[in-house]
Amino acid sequence: MALVGGLFGLLIAFWGVAFITRLLPTDFPRLQEIHIDLRVLGFTFAASVLTGILFGLAPSFQFLRGDVQESMKETSRGASAGPGRSRLRQMLIVSEVALCVVLLAGAGLLFRSFLHLQAVDTGFTAEHVLTAKLAPSGLSYPDAYFAFYDKALDQVQTIPGVQAVGSINTLPLSKGPTLAFRVEGREVTTPDKWPPANYRDISPDYFRAMNIPVVEGRPFSKNDKAGMPLVVMVNQALAHRDFPGESPVGKRINFGRTDENRQPVWFEIVGLASDVRSIELKDDPTPEVYFSSYQDSFPSMSLVIRTSVEPESISGSLRQVINQIDKSVPVTDIRAMDVVVSESITQPRFNLFLLALFGSLALLLSAAGIYGVTAYTVSQRTHELGIRIALGAQVGDVLRMILRQGLTVILIGMVLGLTAAFALLRVMKSLLFGVSASDPVTFVVITAVLLFVALVACYIPARRATKVDPLVALRYE
């Protein structure tokens, strides 16, 4: 039986591995190497054999340890099980239920965390936005890249269905370069003490294409180009950190650059943009500085195209437009922005799937174990139940007795499981967002679910016990 079970387990595993690898993040280490090999087959065979031996011989050893005559009485038809075997079954159920509570609690916490992640305000509107990465060759553009991107943005804007188009060096929800700065008029410190910020290089229409509000000042324009006063924009997170209680617009900052006279090169803050989740959804918005791509040319940029049609429907036209401008420039990584957002939570989604899968299997095994033990106990007590009913016990009395005895063991397992969950699940803090490791709602819900499943598993054989015919039952001597 164990070998047959192992064989069916392998068949499920072959399908399961193929399914699970599709859920893993694309940057998961050694993703292509995940498969079932000879080591897995050997482990499965060994586990099946050991399981068969252990659970096949354990009852025999228990039988041989005790008094043979007494053991035969215990196992005779109609007799209740002996206290030793009864306690063993109860311990197995307690451990099953406790483990189930821990796994279900973990899955519940990840589920609530995942819901919170999906409800996070990204700071931009991802729907109906197409993204694509461009990387013109440095040999073709030795001095600056803004001329290529200026022409590309103008041409893409003419594609039917395009409402706005912008560019940025690093898309939101992905790591990018950082820099440090100092504010004019404040105490001069060494560069290692300057506050850091994410470095974003954008075109004038980037905020309009991403639907990111400019809450103060102005956005960039095409007039913010080389030869004009140097300007930057900052986000609210930077303003709150570095300009508390005052407006950053009009202030000047330096990034360590100096002119030919070794004087600081100052950039004036002309606009304050709303916060965006730039790194991960679970991270609070981080300070950012935006540079105009017309003044700070960047080689590799991503286009963000807001459309009135399905974003993917213009991908062919986009390739054609860029090809007309420069055939040597590849158009890669074409994705809808909502896909970018979805892929940013691939790891949390995978964690949730795994723990939910294991929790569900634990719940199924617990239900099967509770039902099996209760049904076996009822069958062993047929003679006893017949006597009780013959002496006047009501259906409700028998039902409550069986349920009480079954649920007592289950409640012990749940208490142990909740205690273990409170202690063990604190290691999941780094995986959670918007929910604590001791979230009461999660623990109440999983307790109610497990209690309901256990109640049903106990009720079915208990109900069958109430239908015992006393005349038939009394024959089981």
Above 50 in pLDDT, residue 248? yes
Cα gap 371→461, rounded to integer Å: 7
Give the pLDDT confidence of 407-431 residue by residue, as tens digits: 888 899 899 999 998 888 888 888 8
For 189, which DSSP code? -
Name the average pLDDT for the chain: 84
Of 90 and 303, more confident: 303
Above 90 in pLDDT, residue 129? yes
| Residues forming beta bridges with residue 235, ordered by sequence position | 273
Q: Do 195 and 276 belong to one domain?
A: yes
Of 286 and 117, more confident: 286
Can you give the pLDDT at residue 157?
A: 93
Q: Is residue 182 part of a domain?
A: yes
| Residues forming beta bridges with residue 168, ordered by sequence position | 202, 302
Q: Do 50 and 61 belong to one domain?
A: yes
**3-state SS assignment for residue 425:** helix
Give the pLDDT confidence of 263-283 residue by residue, as tens digits: 899 999 999 999 999 888 888
Domain final residue pick, 65, 90, 109: 65
Domain that residue 152 falls in: 136-329
Q: Do 161 and 277 belong to one domain?
A: yes
Above 60 in pLDDT, residue 77? no
Can you give the pLDDT at residue 395?
A: 73
Mean pLDDT within 186-204: 91
Domain final residue pick, 271, 298, 329: 329
Can you give the pLDDT at residue 309?
A: 93
Specify the amino acid at residue 80.
Answer: S
Q: Do 151 and 191 belong to one domain?
A: yes
Q: Do 394 and 294 belong to one domain?
A: no
Q: Do 266 and 150 belong to one domain?
A: yes
Q: Do 168 and 235 belong to one domain?
A: yes
Q: Is residue 58 part of a domain?
A: yes
Mean pLDDT within 46-67: 75
In this structure, what token pair is assigned to residue 399? 């039902």
Mean pLDDT within 109-128: 89
Above 50 in pLDDT, residue 78? no
Q: Is residue 126 part of a domain?
A: no
Of 62 and 332, more confident: 332
Q: Is residue 130 part of a domain?
A: no
Whole-model pTM: value is 0.74
Mean pLDDT within 21-34: 75
Above 90 in pLDDT, residue 474? no
Residue 213 binned pLDDT confidence (cut-offs 50, 70, 90): very high
Q: Is residue 335 part of a domain?
A: no
Q: Do 381 and 469 belong to one domain?
A: yes
Of 73 and 453, more confident: 453
The dihedral of CA 423, 429, 430, 433: what is its sign?
A: positive
Domain final residue pick, 295, 329, 363: 329
Domain count, the chain: 3
Can you give the pLDDT at residue 79?
A: 46
Q: Do 47 and 153 belong to one domain?
A: no
Above 50 in pLDDT, residue 333? yes
Mean pLDDT within 234-248: 95
CB 282 within 8 A of CB 117: yes
Q: Do 151 and 43 belong to one domain?
A: no
In this structure, what token pair is assigned to residue 406? 């079954």
Q: What is the 3-state secondary structure (H, E, C) of 141-190?
A: CCCCCHHHHHHHHHHHHCCCCEEEEEEECCCCCCCCCEEECEECCCCCCC
Mean pLDDT within 120-149: 82
Lowest mean pLDDT among 6-20, 55-69, 388-402: 55-69
Give the pLDDT confidence of 364-399 residue by residue, as tens digits: 888 888 888 878 777 777 667 777 777 777 777 777
Lowest mean pLDDT among 75-89, 159-173, 247-261, 273-287: 75-89
Q: Do 296 and 354 belong to one domain?
A: no
Mean pLDDT within 143-151: 79
Of 227 and 28, more confident: 227
Q: Do 170 and 314 belong to one domain?
A: yes
Q: Is residue 131 part of a domain?
A: no
Residue 134 binned pLDDT confidence (cut-offs 50, 70, 90): very high
Name the residue with tokens 């659970």.
Answer: 55
Q: Which residues contact 326 (CB under 8 A, 6 or more apart)?
A: 136, 140, 148
For 191, which DSSP code? G
Q: Is residue 340 part of a domain?
A: no
Q: Is residue 125 part of a domain?
A: no
